Amino acid sequence: MRGNSFLIANYVRGNSIIHRTPLWLKFLVVAACGTASFLIVDWSVSLVILAIMCGLFLLSGAGLRRLLRAIWIVTPILVVIGLFQWWQLGGPTAARIVLNVLVCVVAASVLTATTPVQELLDGVVAIARPFRRFGADPERFALTIAVMLRSIPFIAGAFSDVRDSARARGLERNPRALVLPVFITTVAYARQTGDALAARGLGEPDDAASGN
């Protein structure tokens, strides 16, 4: 299956200053970009922040091609959002919303391109650990993130394969030829993932394991 670069960039080995930046600081930058997307009211400010995040991505050595691919993936969605917002609220607001989404996408790509998956998951566990007193399970939360990171590229790759197959048969305009095979593949993948987790004693609530 293809789609391994879906939405955010995969980890790229390197020794750049971005790679060496502490994980907590990279998390903080991503969180700040997400928060800023709700606070910024000027599209020109969003453009400056986007340029900074793109510069950080290139500084990491991940490459311009990966950056453009991460942006290109969300372009169709952003075009629809931008046109609708332009119609409803005008050009400046539409530009601000689109740029803010791109800021979040590029910021997340900087994080994933410069942080190994295991280190990223360990960081998630560390962040979630203080919430254990409220009943949260940091390890289960990290497992959920890991499954998500693995599942999204698989589903995107399944859609790409099905779309190419439908195009080869002249059925690219037939929704059933696109949706049904992807749905079946996704359900099968979900069941396989669930069976694999259950076989390892993972993913089941503790009280279910004890028979309560």
Q: Which of 33-42, 94-103, 122-131 has the lowest mean pLDDT?
A: 122-131
> Quick one: what percent of the chain has pLDDT higher than 90?
17
Q: What is the pTM of this model?
A: 0.67
pLDDT beyond 80 at 87: yes
Q: For residue 144, what pLDDT is reported? A: 65
What's the average model confidence in pLDDT over 21-40? 88
> Quick one: what percent of the chain has pLDDT higher than 70?
70
Q: What residue segments make up the domains of the chain, in order of their start? A: 1-115, 117-204
Query: pLDDT band at residue 65, thresholds of 50, 70 and 90?
Result: confident
Residue 63: which region, alpha, beta or left (left: phi > 0; alpha: psi -120 to 50)? left
Q: For residue 126, what pLDDT is reported? A: 79
pLDDT beyond 60 at 195: yes
What's the average model confidence in pLDDT over 98-125? 86
Q: Are 138 and 132 in contact (CB under 8 A)?
A: yes
Instruction: Dig out the tokens for 85 from the structure.
Output: 């917002």
Q: For residue 67, what pLDDT is reported? A: 86
More confident residue, 132 or 150: 132
To which residue do tokens 């028979």 refer? 211
Radius of gyration of the chain (CA): 20
What's the average model confidence in pLDDT over 129-135? 75
More confident residue, 62 or 48: 48
> What is the enclosing helix (H) or strand (E) of 198?
helix 175-199
pLDDT beyond 60 at 186: yes
Question: Comparing C-alpha atoms, which of 105, 101, 104 is closest to residue 81?
Answer: 101
What's the average model confidence in pLDDT over 126-150? 68
Instruction: Dig out the tokens for 76 from the structure.
Output: 């169709």
CA distance linking residue 162 with residue 152, whole number of Å:
15
Query: pLDDT band at residue 194, thresholds of 50, 70 and 90?
Result: low
pLDDT beyond 60 at 209: no
